Amino acid sequence: MPWQPRAMMDIKQEFVSLATQPAANRRELCRRFGISPSTAYALLKRHAQEGAGALTPRSRRPHASPNRTSEELEQAVLDVRCEFPSWGARKIARRLRDLDLQGVPSPSTVTAILHRHGCVPEAASLAAQHWQRFEHAQPNALWQMDFKGEFATTQGWCYPLTLIDDHSRYSLAVQACANVSTASVQPHLQQVFQRYGLPARINTDNGAPWGSPREPDNSLSKLAVWLIRLGIRVSHSAPYHPQTNGKIERMHQTLKEDVLSGRAYVDLPDAQRAFERWRHTYNQVRPHDSLGLDTPAQHYCASARSYPAVLPGIEYLPGDLVLMVGWNGEVRLNKHKFRVSNALLKLPIALRARTSNDGCFDLFFCHQRFGHIDLRTLSC
C-alpha cells in the first residue's frame, strides 16, 4: 500500500523518526504504516544520505547568508515568533539553529528583541516559573490521556481527544470527536495502538468514559475493561489534582494557544486538519525545554508490544476464586452477593485472598486490581 496523500511529508518524517530509533522494529513499522519494506528502506537510505532534504522538496535558499544584516536576523526571530506565538526565547533560538542560520543570538538577546517589539506581555514575564519535573525512564511506560474540553464548530461540538507519552512528550493523537463516549473514543485508540503499539500503562482523570476508582459500581468502564484485556494497566489521577496528568495539561495549554484561541472551524474534519498540522510541529519541530530543547520525536520510539488481532484470553492464578459477573454487575458467592462494575457483565473476575485478613479478598480483572471485599460484612 503506498503512502497516503494526506500530510504525506509529515507521515514520512514520522516514519523515519520512529524507524531510526535504536530499538525500532522496522518490519513491524512498515506494517503499521501500510508501506512495503522496499519503499521504507529506500526512504531510509535517502534520509541517511541527504537528511531532511530526502523528505521535502529542495529549497533554493542558501543555508547561510554571510552578508546577512542584524536587521534581517532580528526579523528571523520575529518571524519564528509570529509562526509560533507561544514559543519563548530558548525555543526560538534553537529553531533558528536548526534552520542552519548563522550568528544566531543567545536566548537572552532573543528575549530582548521580543521585548523591543512588544511581543512579550508583562503578565507573561511575571508568570514564568521553574518547575521540578518527573518522567518515566522509557517511552511507552506511561501514556496520559484526556479530553481538551470542548468547543463549538459551525456544525456542532468538538471534543479533542489527546494522548501523550510521558517520557518523550510525544503527542500520539489529537483527535476531533463528536462526543466523549466509548463508541467514539475506542476506534481512535485502536488506530493509535496499530500505529505505535501498546503502552505498559495509561493514566486518565476520573469520570466518563474512563471510569472512577472512587465509585465502586463504575470503577471499571467499558473502555477500561477493553484496555485491561489488551494487557494495559489503567490508572486514574487523584480527584481535583490535574497535576497528576501534568504533561498533558501543559500540552493542552500549547494546543489552546496555537490552534483554538481566536479561531473558528466549520466541522470536525476542518478541526482535524488543524490538529494534524499542529501535532506534526509539536512532535517534529518545536523544541521542548523539558527535553533539553530536543523535539519529542528525538526521544520517542514505537512500542515493541503490537496490537493483537484478537483479545487475549482471561487467566488467573491457581489459588484464585473465579466468579462470573451477572446482570447489574452482581456477583454471587455461596449465600453472599455483591456488586461490581456493570461493564464486567458475563466476564470472570478473581477473588484473591489476603493472607493477613481472614475473609478479606482483593478483586481482580485480568492483571488489574479494582477493589476489595470483606465477606464478614456482606449480607446473605
| Contacts of 190-196 spanning 24+ positions with Cβ under 8 A | 190/307, 192/163, 193/230, 193/307, 194/32, 194/307, 195/32, 195/33, 195/302, 196/32, 196/140, 196/172, 196/302, 196/303
Domain assignment of residue 105, given as a range: 70-127
Residues 45 and 79 in one domain: no
How many domains is the chain partitioned into structurally?
4
Compute the distance between CA of residue 226 and CA of residue 245 in angstroms, rounded to an integer.
21
Of the two residues 74 and 283, the one the predictor is more confident about is: 283
Residues 290 and 342 in one domain: no
Residues 262 and 211 in one domain: yes
Domain assignment present for 1: no
Using a pLDDT cut of 70, give the percent of the chain over it: 86
Residues 199 and 268 in one domain: yes
Locate 318 and state its grid cell: 491457581
Compute the distance between CA of residue 41 and CA of residue 102 in angstroms, rounded to an integer.
33
Give the model's pLDDT for residue 127: 47
Could you report the per-residue pLDDT of 17-56, keeping only the tens digit for each? 899 898 899 999 999 988 899 989 988 988 888 887 777 6
Query: Lowest mean pLDDT: which of 105-114, 118-127, 169-178, 180-189?
Result: 118-127
pLDDT tier at 302, thresholds 50, 70, 90? very high
Residues 103 and 157 in one domain: no
What's the rounded mean pLDDT across residues 309-330? 92
Could you report the per-residue pLDDT of 335-376, keeping only the tens digit for each? 888 889 889 999 999 999 877 667 788 899 999 988 888 877
Residues 267 and 366 in one domain: no
Does pTM top 0.85 for this prediction?
no
Residues 149 and 264 in one domain: yes
What's the rounded mean pLDDT across residues 132-158? 87
Could you report the per-residue pLDDT of 82-136, keeping only the tens digit for each? 888 888 888 888 888 888 888 888 888 888 788 776 777 655 554 454 444 556 7
Domain assignment present for 307: no
Amino acid at 314: I
Residues 289 and 356 in one domain: no
Q: Is 105 left (phi over 0), alpha (psi -120 to 50) or beta?
A: beta
Alpha helices per DSSP H over the chain: 8-19, 26-33, 37-50, 70-83, 89-98, 107-116, 122-127, 182-196, 222-229, 246-255, 268-280
Spacing of C-alpha 115 from chain mean position:
34
Give the model's pLDDT for residue 271: 96
What's the rounded mean pLDDT across residues 230-244? 77
Could you report the per-residue pLDDT of 253-273, keeping only the tens digit for each? 999 999 999 899 999 999 999
